Chains A and B, each alone.
Chain A
Amino acid sequence: EPEVTQTPSHQVTQMGQEVILRCVPISNHLYFYWYRQILGQKVEFLVSFYNNEISEKSEIFDDQFSVERPDGSNFTLKIRSTKLEDSAMYFCASKGGGGGATQYFGPGTRLTVL
């Protein structure tokens, strides 16, 4: 069964460094998402991406964050200058169709900022 994959599974970085989290969505999907889950808290929406542009973003998704689909398969989340509070599990998701279609989540990347 097709699945969303994410790399790396765990990323450790120093505060102020840039990180890029990578996702490979399911191949025929058109809508892409990033969510995050701070340890012990609920999963929060960050951004949605469709037709090579951001369709919606949350208040969390400030100027330090950016997303890109650099080629036909990858979808990346970049954090320009990491803060301690960016430490979280980051989930990528994708879906094939429009309203009501199911989103499929990747296994997550655990980001630790020291």
Chain B
Amino acid sequence: GDSVTQMEGPVTLSEEAFLTINCTYTATGYPSLFWYVQYPGEGLQLLLKATKADDKGSNKGFEATYRKETTSFHLEKGSVQVSDSAVYFCALSDRTSYDKVIFGPGTSLSVIP
């Protein structure tokens, strides 16, 4: 079945460092791809999404590009802030009518001043 793999954390970075969180997926069709963020003690928020190959999703300085040839959707940010400390989940949906979301295991990011 469809699945998502992402780099294991925790990841600790200094403020203003460059962030990359790797994500790869396995899917039989042409999924939509997402990054969700979960701040401490809160629920899931959609960070960005891409629905077709070569699409770039972006939000709050974060970016990810849908790479069909490498089945990847890596998350990047040029300069992280302390407020970016959270757990980041890569996810896909199979774009059928009901399209459940399949999540990766999550990557915990801590940004230190």
Interface residues of A (CB under 8 A from B): 31, 33, 35, 41-45, 48, 50, 55-56, 91, 93, 98-108
Among B83-113, those with CB < 8 Å from A are: 89, 91, 93, 95-106
Which of A31, A45, A50, A105 interacts with B43 by CB under 8 Å? A105
Q: B29 CB to closest chain A CB, in angstroms?
A: 10
> In the complex, A107 Cα to B104 Cα: how many Å?
19
Contacts A50-B97, A100-B51, A102-B49 known; A42 to B42 CB distance under 8 Å? no
Check if A106 sits within 8 Å of B43, measured CB to CB: yes
Interface residues of B (CB under 8 A from A): 32, 34, 36, 42-46, 49, 51, 89, 91, 93, 95-106
Check if B43 sits within 8 Å of A108, measured CB to CB: yes
Check if B101 sits within 8 Å of A100, measured CB to CB: no
Interface of A is mostly: strand
When C-beta atoms are compared, the residue in chain A nearest to B52 turns out to be A100
Q: B22 CB to closest chain A CB, in angstroms?
A: 16
Chain B residues within 8 Å of A100, by CB: 32, 51, 93, 95, 99
> In the complex, A43 Cα to B32 Cα: how many Å?
17
Check if B42 sits within 8 Å of A107, measured CB to CB: yes
Contacts A105-B43, A107-B42, A108-B43 known; A56 to B106 CB distance under 8 Å? no
Check if A107 sits within 8 Å of B43, measured CB to CB: yes
Q: B30 CB to closest chain A CB, in angstroms?
A: 9
